[in-house]
Amino acid sequence: MSGFVSFVSSGPGDPELLTLKAVNRLKKADAILFDDLSSGLILQHARADADLIGVGKRANRPSPKQHAVSQLLVEYAKNGGQIVRLKSGDAGLFGRLEEEISALREAGISYEIIPGVSSAFAASAAAGIPMTRRLSARRIQFITGRDITGELPDDFNLPALADPSAITVVFMGKKTFSKMQKLLAEHGLSDDTPALLAEAVATPEQTLKRTTISKLAKLLDSDSSPNPALILYGPLADMDDSDDN
């Protein structure tokens, strides 16, 4: 009989941001296939005899292919038991969740999805700002800054992304934001629009850079940090040009 897969969202990195349900599934798991950003102290909740398998993908680093991860997940589930697929942030946001679900469905394997704290919300909390603001920030939009080739997607809705009343959160956008900012300017978004660069959110390495979109684009042109990052821009509250660490 096939096992059961729990897609567990680990949050942005701080083990205290795990949900009670996530901790419960980790404690019961026979095997845990985990992302790079879901390792460390989070895995202390695993049983001592559980199989721990790293399957994380990181930009510009050697990583397993998605089809290989999906197939490995299916193989573990076919052996029976409780299997956890541990994903960083919230599993449903830019986490290739659909592809892994499709593989399980094709194999006739049951699963559940346990939501978690997105790094977007952790970043705004760390910066001490709300994600929405009455009268000035009426909408939030989440986008990815890179397509499957690692380049800036060419099918952006640029008028929407240049909306001065929207808070935009860019995942995986450090390498492409300079090009993106030029396109935003062409569609009318001011160079002085507030921006926040949040790196390694909710970890000991966390850094927050408060700036503007034009200054951030110049900064990222020479960025060499390997840390994962989010970019927030729009009518952010209480922004200035200082660094927060």
3-class SS at 9?
A: strand
Position 241 scores a pLDDT of 43
The pLDDT value recorded for residue 245 is 46
State residue 61's pLDDT score.
57
Q: How far is CA 172 from CA 32, 92, 135, in A?
A: 25, 15, 29
Burial code of 138-160, b = ≥16 C-beta within 10 A, e = fewer? eebeebbbbeeeeebeeebeeee
pLDDT at 144: 95
Domains for the chain: give ranges and CATH numbers: 4-114 (3.40.1010.10), 119-244 (3.30.950.10)
Closest CA relative to residue 68, chosen from 99, 92, 112: 99
pLDDT value of residue 58: 60
How far is CA 118 from each of CA 29, 101, 225, 244, rounded to the nearest angstrom?
23, 20, 21, 20
155's CB contacts (< 8 A; 6+ apart) are none
Q: Helix, strand, coil: what percent of the chain each, to 5?
A: 30, 25, 45
Catalytic center residues: 35, 57
**pLDDT tens-digit readout, 25-80:** 999 999 999 998 888 899 999 999 999 999 976 655 567 889 999 999 999 999 99
Q: For residue 137, what pLDDT is reported?
A: 82
Residues with pLDDT less than 50, the chain: 241-245
Residue with token string 């991860």: 69
